[in-house]
Amino acid sequence: MNIRRTTTTRRAMTAVAITTGLVLAVAGCGGDGGDDEPEKKPSATSSPAEQDKGDDGKDDGGDESSSDKVLAEVKGEESITLTVTSAVRDDGGFVTVSGQVTNNGGRFWAAANWRGEERELNKNGSSVAGASLVDNQGKKKYLVLRDTEGRCLCTKFTGGVKPSQTAEWFAQFPAPPEGTTKVTFQVGAMPPAPIEISEGE
């Protein structure tokens, strides 16, 4: 009888020892995955300067291209500055001239002298309807194109131009003959502005 109890006690102690060993083994293998693997770092984010660079590493961020090339700039009546930035010959047989006008004066400017003196142009107040291109070599003057109702193919400064304000403008003219590139832009009492016509794409 004592032998049976001793054997039972030994078996129980052996089972407890095995169970304890298994628990410790499981605890050792669990947790945060151990120290065998290096800690993973979050993926690095690019700095703002790096984000502006393309795949080739070149900086293609903000548009650094300069504004249109200035072909001519004249100052004249009522403290107005007229800038011509483009004069392009198009396939349709006309030339589009464009630029900016800046009111450097202290009063509102309505471009009253720029609409032209022709009766047909009376409907084009506050515009560049009276502008012209002069081909000095060919001795020809080209007026702003207009539709059948006398409305110019040009900018109308609706509401005029306030002091210190700059407004965009354009005007379309019949194209001078092929090969004629140097002309003079004239509007109102502003000084003549020599410009060069470029070919459209």
Residue pointed to by tokens 């210190």: 164
pLDDT in tens, the chain (201 residues): 444 444 444 554 544 444 444 444 444 444 444 455 445 444 444 444 444 444 444 444 444 433 468 999 999 988 999 999 999 999 889 999 999 999 999 999 999 889 888 777 777 888 999 999 999 999 999 999 999 888 899 999 988 899 999 999 999 999 999 889 999 999 999 999 999 999 886
Q: How far apart are CA 114 and CA 78, in angstroms?
A: 12
Cβ contact 130:144 at 8 Å: yes
Cβ contact 69:61 at 8 Å: no
Per-residue confidence (pLDDT) for residue 65, from 0 to 100: 38
Per-residue confidence (pLDDT) for residue 124, from 0 to 100: 85
Q: How far apart are CA 184 and CA 152, in angstroms?
A: 19
List the structure tokens of 18: 């095995």
List the structure tokens of 129: 């309807």
